[in-house]
Amino acid sequence: MKTNLILRRDGPFQILERINDNIYKIDLPSEYGVIGTFNIYDLSLFNIGNNSRLNPFKKRGDDII
């Protein structure tokens, strides 16, 4: 049996909206070809740890010292 959705580990993606306790709307690239609404059990946390420079959603300053 073939499915349109293949298990992937892409991301991180920004959460756009919390629909309810279990459903979230995610900002997915259009080339994915799917609606970006997912059950929370289909999502995993993105942990940047202590290195905030890895956070793709935070504006950064320049690296000039």
Tens-place pLDDT, residues 26-61: 998 888 888 889 998 888 877 666 665 655 566 555
* pLDDT higher than 90, residue 5: no
Domain boundaries, the chain: 15-47
* pLDDT higher than 90, residue 6: no
pLDDT in the model for residue 11: 76
Q: pLDDT band for position 19 (50/70/90)?
A: very high
pTM of this prediction exceeds 0.75: no
* Peptide bond preceding 56 in cis form (omega within 30 of 0): no
Q: Which residues pair with 15 in a beta bridge?
A: 26
